Amino acid sequence: MLTKLPTNLLDLKSCKFFVLLVSTFSYSQTLIADYGLGQSSLSYATGNFVNVSIGASATTNTVSTCTDDIRNNDITTPNLDLINRGSFQFDVTVNITNLPTNQNSPGNPSKHPILTFDGAYRDFGVNIDDAGYLYIMYNNSTYSVASVNTFSENIDYEIKVQYIKGSTKLMVNNTIEIVATIPYPLNGAASNLNRKIYLSENPGFAFTLAACFSNLKVYNSPVAFILPNNAPTIEAVLDQQACPNADVIITTAIADAETTAANLTVVATASNQAIVTNANIVKTNSGDDFTFTITSETDATCTVSIIVSATD
């Protein structure tokens, strides 16, 4: 993202200074499969894959497919042959109709699958327990630490879970809930027998989840999660005038939603070094308030632009 906001800073008896704000960030990943999971969206939108299949007890409406806590109601993708098992990401929106009760997954109380990857080895997935905590599942039903928050019934949650060579993160509604280190490679990483994704059911075990699912996406992703990143903002500065050989001091607020002011990279440069050198623009800050002290060359008179960039 590139943000530009020109603002006049200073006129030294005809010398004008301008502020140009520049902010950049990036996010990169490759979408290989996209299933809306509504009545008109069970077929693939991206990737060389056929339709998902749904169990006999599952129902589909215009925006989602819903399961109950009866066995054989899962939602299953075909083999997703393009998945890079060492670096992938799954996104799904889930609305849990009923938290699991009175059932246990092997060795761990009341954890039920939201998403399972690879039914043969249960390589990787996301489970929920009866208290509403989420867990990352891996290597035949081994579990990570619990999520920071608990999750309630009848609320839409956008879940994003990523595995990159032993590092895994779980994000819910753009908030990271779990960060963990798990084995690399996964148990089934060398096997091509089953590259399916199962929603609601852990294949081979009689543990299911009553929930509605939509917007299942599968990514091959070479980089770790990057939280939603807004460009830094810089408060507008009015035109300024000053006499030659007099310093001008300008204070403006520079802030970012995700990055503290102390960790922003803020740089000021002058368009005409014969009038104001970069070394003569001195920056200090107290919290979000940044102060620029601008000193022109001796007896200088003309218009100059000062470019201030803020990068998170």
State the DSSP H helix or E strand holding residue 32, giving kind and residue range, or none if neither: strand 30-35
pTM: 0.64
Is the previous residue joined to 183 through a cis bond, with omega within 30 degrees of 0?
no
Give per-residue pLDDT as tens, 257-293.
Answer: 778 888 899 999 998 898 899 999 999 999 999 999 9
Domain ranges of the chain: 7-25+229-311, 30-220
Architecture of domain 7-25+229-311: Sandwich (2.60)
> Is residue 277 within 8 Å of residue 270, measured between CB atoms?
yes
Over residues 109-118, the mean pLDDT reads: 77
180 DSSP β-pair partners? 168
Half-sphere exposure of 230 (CA within 13 A, CB side): 11
Picking from 10, 21, 13, the residue whose alpha carbon sits closest to that of residue 280 is 10
Give per-residue pLDDT as tens, 147-202.
Answer: 988 999 999 999 999 999 889 999 999 888 998 998 888 876 555 567 889 998 76
CATH topology (fold) of 30-220: Jelly Rolls (2.60.120)
DSSP code at position 46: S
Q: Read off the pLDDT band of 246 (50, 70, 90).
A: confident
Q: Are strands 53-54 and 75-76 parallel, antiparallel or unpaired?
A: antiparallel
DSSP code at position 230: P
DSSP code at position 232: P
More confident residue, 91 or 25: 91
Give per-residue pLDDT as tens, 81-109.
Answer: 888 888 899 999 999 998 877 555 444 54
How far is C-alpha 163 from the geometric centre of its chain's CA atoms?
A: 14
DSSP code at position 186: -
Give per-residue pLDDT as tens, 191-237.
Answer: 556 788 999 876 666 667 889 999 999 999 756 776 667 789 999 88
